[in-house]
Structure formats: C-alpha cells, structure tokens
Structure 1
C-alpha cells in the first residue's frame, strides 16, 4: 500500500466489501484525515476489477462552472449519447461541450438525459460505480441533474461519495444524496485517525526525515491522528535546531497562530489571563484555577468564541494545538509569573513540579529534589520519555556542590531515554556524561552507551564500550557484577560470555537490589554453557526463574523462551513471551516490546504458524523502524518467511543485503543467520551446489566461534539435502554425523525428524533402497505430535515420497506426496507445496527419451559424477561456475534425472551420444 494509505488497509477492505455488495458507501471524516486518498484507492480498485467508473472530483473553484462535474461523470458514456431522443441528446452534448447551445439548455432535459445514460449503463454486464469526491463543491446544475436522475433510475449503479464532517455527528452537514435516491441505506465508513506507526511511514515518505518514536507519538496526539496536520507539525519540528523535549510544545502552524491571535486580542483582559492560566496547566481543572484566583465566569467570552469549553470539573480546549498556540503567545516575563501562581495553587505534586521547573531559573536544591521525585513517579507509571526530560531539568537545577545528585539524575535521564526507545538521545546523553565523569559514574555512563550500541545491533561496539565500563568500575563489586552480566549478553562467542556470567554471579548476591541481575546472570550462564556444547544444567534455569519471582528482566528474560523454543516446547515459549510483551506494554518500554515481538515471530515460524508469525514480524519491523534499531533479526525472519511462502527473489535480496552489512560491521551473528537464509533460498530454488556452499560456510563460522549448539539454528538437515542434490556424499555424511552429535547431546523433536529424513536421503543417494530408513522416518513422524513441527513433519513426507518414487513404488509415493502437499498447503508453505506437486506430477508420467549431450555438457557431467564441485569443474574446464550450473541443468533435463546423485548411474554409458 502506498505511503498515503498506510494504516488504511482495514478501512479500504470495509468500503470495498460494501461496494461489492451493492451498498452505497459514504467515506467520511474531518478535513485532512485522508478521505481523498482512500477514495482514490477505491476508484483504482474498481477500475482494476473492470468496473465502469463514472468519476467527479469537483474543487471549490469549479463550483461556479455549470455542469463541470456532470460532464466528468458522463464523459465515459459519450458513445451512448447519439441513441438518446433529440432533446436529451442536445442537452447531453451541451453538457459534454460537444456542441454549442444556441438556446438556454432545459435542465429537465439534462436530468432526463442523465437518467437515461445511467440506466443504460447500469443495465449492462459490467458493474457501474458512480463516485464523487467532496460533493459539497458540486456546481448547483450538476447537483440538481444528479438528484433528478437518481430519484428516477430503474437500475441503480453502485455509489461512492466522500463527506467532510465538522464534529462528532456525521449528519451535521448535508449529503449529496438522500437515502431514497440510493439502492439501500448507505454504509458510512469513517476514516479513523492514524497512530504513530502509520504516521512514521507518511512523514518519511513526504518529508524524507525520521523522528523518534516518542516525538511521533506526541505529533499523533496533537494532530489528532490527522495526517495532513501531522505532516505540517513534523515539517515544523524538522526545521528546529533541536528536538522539543516532552515538556516543550511542538511548533504551532502559522495559520493557527494567526487565527488565535485575533481571537485572543478580542477577549476581555480578565478572560485572556484566565485562558492563559488554563493553557499553562497540563489538565486544567476548575478547582486548580479557582485556587489560582480564576472564577468560572471568566471563561465565558472564550467559550463563546469557540476556543474552549467549561465542564463541571475540567476545562478543555477545542483542539490540542489551541492550548499550545496560547502558550506560545504569552510573553516570557508574564509566563514565568503565571507558572509561579500555578505552582502555589495546584494540588497534584507532579503538576506542581512541572510548574516549578518552568518558573525556576537559578539552581535550587529543593526544586531539583521535587522534580527528581516527580520524574521517578513518571518512570514508574510507564512514561519514560517524560521522566527523562524531568531528570534532565532536575540535573540543571541541582547546585554545583551536589555533584553526586547531579550525576545520578543525568544517568537516570539517559536510562529513561533508552527505555523510551529514543536511542539517539540516550547515546548523546551517555557520551556527554562520559566526558565529564570518572570512576563508578563513568562506568555507569559507558554501560548505558554500550546498551544503546547493543539495541541498534552494533554488537562489537557494545562489547568494546562495556569492557571500558568494567575497567572504570574499579573496586565497586556490585557495579562490576552489573557490567559482567551485560557483557554476558553482548558477547556472541560462548566461552567469553560464560566467563563473564560466572564473574557476575561471583560479584552479586541474592539481596533484593541485586536479585534481578543475579537471576539474569544465572540464565545467561545456562544459555552459553549449552551453546558451548556442555550438558544443559537446567538447575541454573530453575534457580534463575525462581529468583525472577515472576518479573522477567530485560537483560535475560527471553532466555527461557529461547530454550523452550529450541526444544520445541512452543506453548511454553509462547506463554512466556506474551507475558513479557504485556509487561513491556504496561511499562511503556517499546524497545522491550520490539525484542519480544521478534522472538514471538521466530517462535511462531518454527511452530509452523506462518500467519501469526508474519503479524509479529511485521509489528517488530514497524516498531524497530521507528525506534531506529538495525532491524537485522526481524528482517531476516521476514526473509525466511518469504522463502517458505515461495517469494524467493525477495528472500534472496534479504540474504544478500544482510551478508553485505555483516561484512561491513564484522558482525558474526548477522553473518551466520544470513548464510542460513542464503542456503535455504538456494536450496528452495534447486541451486544445490550454492546451497551446500552457504551451509558449509555457516558451519565453519560456528566452528570458528566455538559454538557447538546454535540453539536458534537448525540447518544440518538442509545442508545434507543440498549436498545430496549436489552429489557431494562425503560432505553429506559428515553433516549427518554432526547432526547426530547434536541429537546425542540434546535430543529434540526437530533432531529426531532431521536425522530420520537425512538418513533416507543419504542412503538413497548411495544407490540403495532405503527401506529400513523409511520405516525409521515413519516412526519418527509418529513420535512428534502434529502441532509441534508441522513443516518438518511434512518435509519428511516429501522425502519419503521421493524415495518411494525412485524405487518405483508409485502408490506409496503418491500417498506420501499427496499428504505432504496437503500439509504444506495447510500451513501456507507455498515453496514446499509446489515441490510436492512437481514430484506428484512425475509419478506415472512416461519419461521422455534421453537426448545427446554436447561435448561441454558431457565433460561437465562426467566431472560432476566424480564428485567434483562446481568451482572445481569451472577451474578444470576454464569456464565460470554459472556456466557449470547451466550445463548441469541441461544435462539433468536431457538425461531425465533430477539431481547430481543420479549422475553416476546415468554416466555409466560410454562417451558420445546417449542412446534413446
């Protein structure tokens, strides 16, 4: 969907379904909300569906041009005009400007011609859509002719109009059409306000700039979700030398400033001061303003001017930007005095702190303490962006001699920026703090900077900065324990990560203030010991979960879910992650939401729930894009999902881009996951040598990092399949042995199925009939419940069907392949369903007679039959690997075989033409 329609999918579908069901549709909403963009999308969809679309989009300037809109509507029906009776034909030709009117046109004839043309069009085989955007600008003659015609139609077209609302009541403005003009009661489709996520895409597409997630949320709120106003606000923000803090107003559009300046100037002095005091309050209440000396009747003039409304307890401005515009117009000196009045009057401690912050210029320990306490309350309530601004203001007002308090408040501000997802502000704050701090405070600043690096997928930077933090921590054992725990998370290689986990555990105790970090260190130690190939010490997992006491930490909360996902306990992983997501939402911690959504997407992908996985991955990508993270994990998952669904070009592009980025950043983790994706894409496309090469490089990467058990990567069965397809049985057997070691170390449903499937492939490739292995494969499928690994179970059927087909057991092959195709289709694995259908098509089909090979094809085939790789063949024959691949494809086609594994028998013939 285009940038102008971001976030409108459901609304478009709702309107289209109504039109398809012949219900008239009225798309309604306030100015700027996006009615016209949605209307254009519906018109384009109708045209693509082959409907006859009669369109008018009048403008204010055209309202004085007689029949301008009607001419637009009737122009597609011009070919029917000659068949009209003479008076109607003349009237229609005048409307269409096909002839000059010698006499005034009869409006009744125009209406009759319009009715006749619409009746004739609606009586055809093609659906007719009559549609008007913004009918309030219809010229009066066109409107009268349409009303006349529509009231008398015998066959009614589908009708789509837009309607501009001015309040909560959709009927507060007249419509073009009365209900009795329509085929039935109209379906009103309200265009909803857009949230921060959709506005992010619109702002980026229209203005080319990006804003932080907290700032976008403020723009969405102040604009009321109106994309037109949001674009104007974003444009004004992007022009500013610095980003407004949560306590500062967003820029007010000049048109609104000018409008309100006149309104305010017209108010009596007492009313103007009352409006200013109300605007300076976050939530203006009658009680607070009364304590500030403002009576309720002081607002009468402002209420009559439509500026605000007075309720029994609260005062509300007609638009959120009105209050900002009023504040902007208050002179600085007057504003400071009014803030002081309000600080002494309000009852809420947070509101008092806000007012004090704005009327205090010089350092003041008492005010700084009140502000820091208010920031802590905002932080606890899940408003980290607001808390960050208050901590920064508290630091500014902290006297110079209170160094420790100032440093603590600055670091708290950085942490709150981090929690809110404003990584740019968090990184800048941490860098600034690090330049002026020393000792433990410096270590805190560096640790926060390292966490920012980790959040944006800069793992090497995170490790380097955290090592500096460890050096700065000195003798502070608790701080050193915190840094060690973070380094355990940041390190990719299991051995150094394990050592840091052990050091963290040694430095930390189970006191209440250290317990969350100790729990995280225990979970991370368990995780990295498993990755290093050590036995799974589940007692570490149990102890860590017990210390958590139901409160998962950001540092290691996902470890239990990763473990359960790796052991195919998808239900437990899902429950854990959903609980974490609920907590992150309640806390307003969007970075944590982003991480959890990514893990949920991967868990559902492995569980074969592709639709749900796609929803989680899409949500993670959108949130990550707004937060400014590297988007590595969710982009890779999206590529993997594309590959499963048969979109190999898109998945291949993700793999290539990810490998390039990993090379630029020297990011081993990113390189591994994208090598796996590249191998899977090549395998799915039938490029077996390329797939085997990618999987071999992945295995080498893991060995180089000393990762014996990559919990999130289960690639060996695919590697074996690629090697078998490429005719490299030695590597296939070595990969099978590697998979067997993983199974012996940690048996799981996926290793059970992967081993059984791979053994069938290897034995069949060696030329034997894998009868025993097929029995083992059937038993493995029976051991794994149908809802645990639906994709892996279906792939076992595919392998079994291929093995039976090669052994000429047509009935068994057909049954296995049919079942595989059904299971693949059921979960949406399009790529695999196509492969199963292709194998089915080969059963019972008489193979075409082999044809002669060219000399080059002959040489390539003989070298491939000897087990040579594509690269080795290319070097021997002085041709490119792509030429080798193309020649092999022709060899398979000419010899009526499907893989390199069958070349040995096929090339047992003497050189020369292959007999038919």
Structure 2
C-alpha cells in the first residue's frame, strides 16, 4: 500500500470487502483528507484482481460539458454499441462521439443504453466496478444517466464514489434511495494520526521532522494530510525550525485568505479576533474581561472564521488562528498579551501571556512562569514546560542565580522528556558551560543520558558521565546517581557491577533517590548474572519493593529481561505492558520505543510472531519519528525474517548491521548482528559461514567478560553449524560450554538445547543416539508446548534425523512430519520445508497431501476471487488464520499464486478421495 494511504489499511479492507459483495461504497470526508488517494488505491487493487474498472474523475470546469463524465465511464465499452437497438446505439454514439449526431441526444435513450452496456459487461465479466471520484462535480446529464442505470444494475455492478462531507448535499447518484440505499456503505475518512502523517510528510517533503514538531503539525492541520503537507513545507522554508511554543507558519495562500477576511471585518471584530487567537482557550467571559462584547464576534462568525458555542469560542480551523496571530504587528501583539495577562483568572493562562509580553528581568513574572512550567510538566506536557522554564530563566534577575540554574536544568530535562534529543543535547551542553557546582554536574549527567538514549558512541557517553563524577562531591547522593547511570552505560559486567555497588551504598541514605536506588539494585543483579554469578533474588525483591507501582526508568526493564531469559514470557509480557501503558500516559516516547523492542523480543521467543512483528513495526515507526537508532529493531526483525524463511532479507540486515558496527566501533551492535548473520547462514545451510560467525561472537563475549549473555542463546546453533561443517572438536567444546551455562542457570530453553545438541553430536560422532533421544523426549515432555514452540519443533527435527540415521524409518517419518506441522503452525517456512523434505527421504508412504476441511473451504473461496477479509468473514475465522491456511494450501498443491490455485481447484486438486 502506498504512502498516500498510510494509516487507512482497515478502511481500505472494509471498502474492498463491500465492493466484493456488490455493495455501493461512498467515501466521505473534507477536502484534502485523502479521499482520492484511497479511491485510486481501491481502483488499482480492483484492476489487479481482474475487475473491469469503469471510472471517471470529473472536475468543476467539466460540469458544463454534457456527458463528459459518462463518456469516460463508458469508453471501455464502446465496442458494445453495435449490439444495442438503433435508438440506444445512436444515443451512445452521441455520448462517446463515435457516431454522427444529427439531432438532440435523447437522455432517456442514453440512460437505457448505459444500463444495457453495463448488463452486457456483467454477462461477460463477472466483476464490474463503476467508480466516480468527486461525484458532486458530475455534469447533470451524466449524473442522470448513471443514476438511472445504477439503480437497476446494483448489486451485480459494484459502485465506488467519493464526495466531500463538508458541503452538505444529497447523496450522489441517489445511492441512498430504494434497494440501493439498503446496500450503501458510507465510509468516512477521519484525520490521520501522528504516525501516519510522519510517513506522508517524509514521502512528500523528503525530510524527517522532530517528533514534537510533528505533533504540532498534526494538531494544527487537524490530521488533514493536505494541510499537514502545506504546513510542513512552510516550516521547511524557514531558516530554522520554529522554537517550541512559536506559531507554525501558515501557507501563503492561507495567510492571504485570512488577511482578506480580516480586512473586511469591523475594527472591533478584528480586535476581538486577535484577542481570541492570542488566548490559550478563548471564552466569551474571558474575552469580555479584555473588553470584547459578544456582538463583536458576530461578523467573524458570519465570515466563517470562528464559531461561538455557549461560552466557547473556537476557530473554524487551528491554522486560521495561527494566520491571525501572524498578522498582528509585534508592538500590538505585546500590548494584547499584557491585556490578556492582566485579565486572566487561570494562573497558567496568565503565565503564558506574561511569557509573551515581559522582556526585562522580572522576579515576580519569572516565578509565576516557572510555577506554571512545573504544573505543565506534572500534567505530562514537557514541551510546553520547557519553553516556560526557558522564559522564566531569561526573566530571572541577577540575584536569583539559584532559580536560574534550576530552571535552566529543568528546561533541558523537559526537552529530553519530550523526545527532542537534539534540543536536549544543546541545552544540556549550554548549561554545563554556563554553570558551576552541582548544577554543572547535573547538566553533564543529563548530557550523558541524552547521548545514551540517542545511541551515541559508548566512549563519549561514559567519558561525559565520568566528567560529572569527577566534579561531584565525593560520597554524595549525587555521586551515587552518577554511579547508577554509569552502571547502565557500561557494557562489560565487571565495571557495571562495580558502579552499581557504589551506587547502592551512596544512595541507601537518600530517601528522595528511592527510584534511582531501585534501578541500581536491578543493575547490580543484571551485571552479576551476566558475570556468571548466582541469581540473588533478594536484590530483585528489594528493588521491586522500592519502586512500588512505578517501575524505575533506570533499569526498570531488567526484571522483564531476566524473566524472558528464564522463559517466563507471561510475567515479562505483563510487566512490559504495564510499563508501556504508563509511558504512553506520560507521553514518554523514547521509553515506549525501548519497551516495544523488549515486547517484540519476548513474543519472538514465545513463538507469537505476529505479535512480535506488530510491536517491532510500532517501535520502528516511533523511532523514525524522533530519530532513534534502529539497530535493535533491525536485529529483531532480521531474526523474525530468518525464522520465517526470508533469509535474503535477514542476511542483508545482518551485513548492514555489521558494516555499521565497524564504522562506529560498537561492540553491542557487533554482537547482535553477528548472531543474526550466523543464524541466517545456518537456516540457509551455509554451515562453515555460520560456524565462523558464532566463533567470532563467542570471542567477543569472552573478551568482554560476558559469562552469561542473557539475551543470546547461540550455543545450540553454533554446535549445529560446527557439526554441519565437520568441525566436531569445536562442537564438543561448544556442548560443554552450553552444559556449563545450564548448570549455572537452568532454564527451559537450555534444557531443550542441551538435549538437542547431544543428539546432533552423537549422530555426528557415530555413537548410539538412544540415550540422547530418550533425554530429548524427556526434555520435550518437561517443557510446555506453548513455552518454546520453535525450540520444541527443532528438537523433533533433530530426532527425526537421528532416527533415520539408525534406520528407524517409522519413528523418523513420524517425528519429521510432526516437526513440519509445528513449523508450519509457527510460520517457520524454511524449517518446515526442510522437515518435509527430510520426511520424504525416509521412504514409505508420503505424507498426505489432501487439504483439510478448512483448507479446502479457504482454497475454494480464494480461487473464486474472494479477498482474505471476505474469506475470514464468510468462514468466521481471522484474516491471519486465512493467511496461514492459504500458505499450507499453496505448499500442498505446489502453487504460488491465486491464478495457479484457481486452475488447481478446477482440476479437483486437494479434494478428499
């Protein structure tokens, strides 16, 4: 689906389903909302599916051209005119200008001819679509002819029409009348969200806007893509991006329009409109205190600029208010802001107005503005709070040095909280240069945190935090906070553990630092586990007790990381979702990005790959909007691709990641993409290459002192690659490495991996596999089926190969066939194909190729041209189930497309008996 209709997937599916059923579809929405883009997408889909598409897109100027639209619709049917009666043939010739017109065209004959050719088309082509974009611009004769014909051919002919909803008129073509009206499906197009607009604006402008600015464009445009594009282009024409709180520039055409309307208003109304535009939330009572009478707004309401509903005064569109503000001269604007400040009753509104009219240092005004900033910050509006804190600091008199430092730091922190990393980085650096003492230390620490979140080079981040530590008072709680952060910044277990221990000691006597202490305890636990030390449950219990209902931002994900490594996926999922919900409420998008990645990995391990893909897609979209590094998402998506058999894509991601890791000298990036490269090579059967990657990965982890790489389960894959490459000496060493890991920290995945690896190695060494196979059966029985479905299926595959090697063909065939079924249920295409191939090599009766009852029904509907959505609704199953069944049908019947499926079904393939 193209970027023009991003965010409209559900709507497009709904419309396609209705058209498949012969129901007329009316796409409605205001100008610029994207009706034409959706309309074209539906037409393209219909053409691909083999529909005969009869379309027109009338314009305003064509309203005066009789039959112009109808000629476009019927042009593909011109060759059918010869089959009509003479009066209808003559009428249609006049419409299409294919015959000599000797007199007035008989409109009744045109309507009848239109009906006749449509019915003839349906007789030859079962799927016919008549589509009209912007139907209100139809010329009247075309409208009447189509109205006459469609009333008589629907639902045999599908109809797709678009119309503006902001200009109330009768329903186009009488689609809401009679039997047609009972079938009509109205599909309203609403505003696009921030995520969808991000893709639209990037495609249209070639620029990726900061997330806070993107949110403002979405608000000011009301989610209208056309207006959003105009706003974005106007913003990008500026010498620099607008400061937070500053008005976004209106498009020149809109400024001109509003200026013309303002010039026509009485002076009192212009004053009222300006005050309303400068107010945070204009009301009649608030404007009355500023000297505006209710009747002063009448002319503006009649001009369509504002609407007065009860007490509320609202602009017809947010961009109108910005255009009005842009038209106010600076001096007049300051006076109006002062008037609004003096008459405001709400302290936040008064502070907002003061921030725009006070220029010289003013202690009282600064204090009011800072108090409002604190309230906005508490309400979850960090971007607004940042601007207010910066203004408060600017207005602070020289004697208020303490308040100045506090407000500057708060402003930088709010920039970070809003996800604007470049602004936060710049603000923290300026504060660190200007201030001294603890304020400078806090600024340096914040600068390091920004670098961590923005995925800067680890050396830079650690060096900045160590500068902060060197400047902090020795033995202070501030030093303890820095140690806690350094523990998070350090990748190697030993330095990370050392910093965590110092943080726990220094923060123990600081009640206000409870959340940071909780984070330090979690980091201590995390680094101890990674160093190969026993799990100290008391550290986790103490940390969870300290954090209460609000998990610590600092290492709050550690419990979930540990739980998913223990294969306690439900427990990890519950904590991550709880943290994600809180991050959404706070508007903390960077943390949302991190949590979505963890959820993606959790579902990947749990075998819930559709959920994993959804989480990773959401993380990628969010990361693109605020400029996050995509390495983690790339790695996890690459693993998902490899699991699903999309090995070329997985390999490309791994190669790109390794190249980027070398450029940045990034050890973490090197580890994750080396693992991905090894797994993709293993799934592709490139065993020596896979073994080489896993060897590089093991050396990197050993060099780091990483005894327990919590998230990486590479030993069983490394051993399989070594066996495949014939390097049995290394394979035996890897088996011992895996066994030692299992002894230190027994977990379900390691239980399965150890049993699988022993069967593989026994076969490679020519030993009797009976004991290893018994251990593998016991391991599968000990691990519930829904905990590690991929690992369990791989155990079956290895067992089948071992049984075949010792000529126990029936057990081999049963194990391999069962493995193929489990792989197919997961969507592990490459492994499923391998298991099927290995099963066929066992000899004996081949696995049955008949379709199940559900598969047969899905195949029949798909062969008849039904979409997945229609099939799902018909059979009362989900679209994902339809996709899974179709994949199995294609595989069983040896087809690759719906066209081949139709031919196979026509031959009776797949039927029982």
TM-score past 0.5 threshold: yes
Residue number in structure 1 paired with 2:175: 178
Residue number in structure 1 paired with 2:782: 783
Does the CA contact (< 8 Å) of 1:454 and 1:461 recur in 2? no
**Separation of aligned partners in 2, 1:345 and 1:596:** 45
Does the CA contact (< 8 Å) of 1:531 and 1:710 recur in 2? yes
Could you say if the C-alpha distance between residues 436 and 160 of structure 1 is closer, same or farther in structure 2, counting changes exceeding 3 Å? same
Residue number in structure 1 paired with 2:452: 454
1:421-440 equivalence runs, <5 A: 421-440=419-438
**Separation of aligned partners in 1, 2:247 and 2:139:** 42
Residue number in structure 2 paired with 1:123: 123
Does the CA contact (< 8 Å) of 1:267 and 1:302 recur in 2? yes
**CA positional deviation for 1:93:** 3.0
**CA positional deviation for 1:677:** 0.6
Residue number in structure 2 paired with 1:92: 92
1:35-46 equivalence runs, <5 A: 35-46=35-46
Does the CA contact (< 8 Å) of 2:22 and 2:156 recur in 1? no
**Separation of aligned partners in 1, 2:531 and 2:716:** 21
Tell me which stretches of 4 or more aligned residues in structure 1 moved more than 6 Å.
none
Q: Which moved more, 1:64-73 or 1:389-398?
A: 64-73
Q: SS of the counterpart of 1:698?
A: helix
**CA positional deviation for 1:484:** 1.1
1:301 equivalenced with 2:306 (yes/no) = no
Residue number in structure 1 paired with 2:8: 8
**Separation of aligned partners in 1, 2:9 and 2:309:** 37
**CA positional deviation for 1:669:** 0.6
Q: SS of the counterpart of 1:514?
A: helix
Residues 120-156 of structure 1: CA distance to partner in whole angstroms, max 9, x if unpaired? 1112343111111111222222222212322444873
Residues 785-840 of structure 1: CA distance to partner in whole angstroms, max 9, x if unpaired? 11211111111111111211222222212221222222222222223222222222
Does the CA contact (< 8 Å) of 1:422 and 1:627 recur in 2? yes
Could you say if the C-alpha distance between residues 147 and 430 of structure 1 is closer, same or farther in structure 2, counting changes exceeding 3 Å? same
Q: SS of the counterpart of 2:130?
A: strand
Residue number in structure 2 paired with 1:661: 660
1:404-803 equivalence runs, <5 A: 404-458=402-456, 459-475=458-474, 477-803=476-802
Q: SS of the counterpart of 2:173?
A: coil
Q: TM-score, normalised by structure 2?
A: 0.90
Residue number in structure 2 paired with 1:902: none
**CA positional deviation for 1:311:** 2.3
Does the CA contact (< 8 Å) of 2:175 and 2:184 recur in 1? no
Residue number in structure 1 paired with 2:830: 831
Residues 711-746 of structure 1: CA distance to partner in whole angstroms, max 9, x if unpaired? 010111111111111111111111111101110110
Q: SS of the counterpart of 1:421?
A: coil
- Ranges in structure 1 where 5+ consecutive residues have no aligned partner: 848-916
Q: SS of the counterpart of 2:364?
A: helix
Residue number in structure 2 paired with 1:820: 819
Q: SS of the counterpart of 1:176?
A: helix
Residues 840-899 of structure 1: CA distance to partner in whole angstroms, max 9, x if unpaired? 22221799xxxxxxxxxxxxxxxxxxxxxxxxxxxxxxxxxxxxxxxxxxxxxxxxxxxx
**Separation of aligned partners in 2, 1:177 and 1:652:** 56
**Separation of aligned partners in 1, 2:296 and 2:834:** 77
Does the CA contact (< 8 Å) of 1:756 and 1:777 recur in 2? yes
Q: Which moved more, 1:666-675 or 1:80-89?
A: 80-89
Does the CA contact (< 8 Å) of 1:460 and 1:667 recur in 2? no
Could you say if the C-alpha distance between residues 182 and 510 of structure 1 is closer, same or farther in structure 2, counting changes exceeding 3 Å? farther
1:201 equivalenced with 2:207 (yes/no) = no
Residues 288-332 of structure 1: CA distance to partner in whole angstroms, max 9, x if unpaired? 223223232322222222221222222111111122122122222
**Separation of aligned partners in 1, 2:228 and 2:515:** 41
1:321 equivalenced with 2:319 (yes/no) = yes
- Ranges in structure 2 where 5+ consecutive residues have no aligned partner: 847-913
Q: SS of the counterpart of 1:235?
A: helix
Does the CA contact (< 8 Å) of 2:484 and 2:519 recur in 1? yes
Does the CA contact (< 8 Å) of 1:380 and 1:587 recur in 2? no
**CA positional deviation for 1:522:** 0.9
**CA positional deviation for 1:510:** 4.3
Residues 447-474 of structure 1: CA distance to partner in whole angstroms, max 9, x if unpaired? 2121121112223322222122222224
Q: Which moved more, 1:620-629 or 1:293-302?
A: 293-302
**CA positional deviation for 1:366:** 1.3
Residue number in structure 2 paired with 1:146: 146
Q: SS of the counterpart of 1:129?
A: strand
**Separation of aligned partners in 1, 2:284 and 2:508:** 52
**CA positional deviation for 1:768:** 2.5
Q: SS of the counterpart of 2:124?
A: coil
**Separation of aligned partners in 2, 1:74 and 1:785:** 62
**Separation of aligned partners in 2, 1:821 and 1:562:** 30
**CA positional deviation for 1:272:** 2.1
**Separation of aligned partners in 2, 1:701 and 1:52:** 60
**CA positional deviation for 1:684:** 0.8
Residue number in structure 1 paired with 2:137: 137
**Separation of aligned partners in 1, 2:224 and 2:691:** 52
Does the CA contact (< 8 Å) of 2:475 and 2:506 recur in 1? no
Q: Which moved more, 1:626-635 or 1:86-95?
A: 86-95
1:212 equivalenced with 2:213 (yes/no) = no
Q: Which moved more, 1:333-342 or 1:733-742?
A: 333-342
Could you say if the C-alpha distance between residues 846 and 291 of structure 1 is closer, same or farther in structure 2, counting changes exceeding 3 Å? closer
Residues 754-813 of structure 1: CA distance to partner in whole angstroms, max 9, x if unpaired? 000000000011122311111100100111111211111111111111211222222212
**CA positional deviation for 1:498:** 1.1
**CA positional deviation for 1:488:** 0.7
Could you say if the C-alpha distance between residues 13 and 435 of structure 1 is closer, same or farther in structure 2, counting changes exceeding 3 Å? same
Q: SS of the counterpart of 2:174?
A: coil
Q: SS of the counterpart of 2:248?
A: coil
Residue number in structure 2 paired with 1:863: none
Residue number in structure 2 paired with 1:80: 80
Residue number in structure 1 paired with 2:34: 34
**Separation of aligned partners in 1, 2:49 and 2:524:** 59
Residues 656-709 of structure 1: CA distance to partner in whole angstroms, max 9, x if unpaired? 111111111111111100011111111111111111111111111101111000
**Separation of aligned partners in 2, 1:583 and 1:326:** 38
Residues 208-254 of structure 1: CA distance to partner in whole angstroms, max 9, x if unpaired? 11111111111111111110000000111111223223322111122
1:337 equivalenced with 2:324 (yes/no) = no
Residues 27-80 of structure 1: CA distance to partner in whole angstroms, max 9, x if unpaired? 111111111111111001111111111111122233333322222211221232
Could you say if the C-alpha distance between residues 452 and 270 of structure 1 is closer, same or farther in structure 2, counting changes exceeding 3 Å? same
**Separation of aligned partners in 2, 1:620 and 1:446:** 28
Does the CA contact (< 8 Å) of 1:30 and 1:165 recur in 2? yes
**Separation of aligned partners in 1, 2:556 and 2:808:** 51
**CA positional deviation for 1:372:** 1.2
Q: Which moved more, 1:212-221 or 1:832-841?
A: 832-841
Q: SS of the counterpart of 1:662?
A: helix
Q: SS of the counterpart of 2:172?
A: coil
Does the CA contact (< 8 Å) of 1:485 and 1:517 recur in 2? yes
**Separation of aligned partners in 2, 1:536 and 1:368:** 51
Residues 241-278 of structure 1: CA distance to partner in whole angstroms, max 9, x if unpaired? 23223322111122222222222222222222222212
Does the CA contact (< 8 Å) of 1:156 and 1:182 recur in 2? no
Q: TM-score, normalised by structure 1?
A: 0.90
Does the CA contact (< 8 Å) of 2:23 and 2:155 recur in 1? no
Does the CA contact (< 8 Å) of 2:24 and 2:175 recur in 1? no
Residues 461-509 of structure 1: CA distance to partner in whole angstroms, max 9, x if unpaired? 2222212222222447222111111111111111111111112122212
Q: SS of the counterpart of 2:511?
A: coil
**Separation of aligned partners in 1, 2:81 and 2:207:** 51
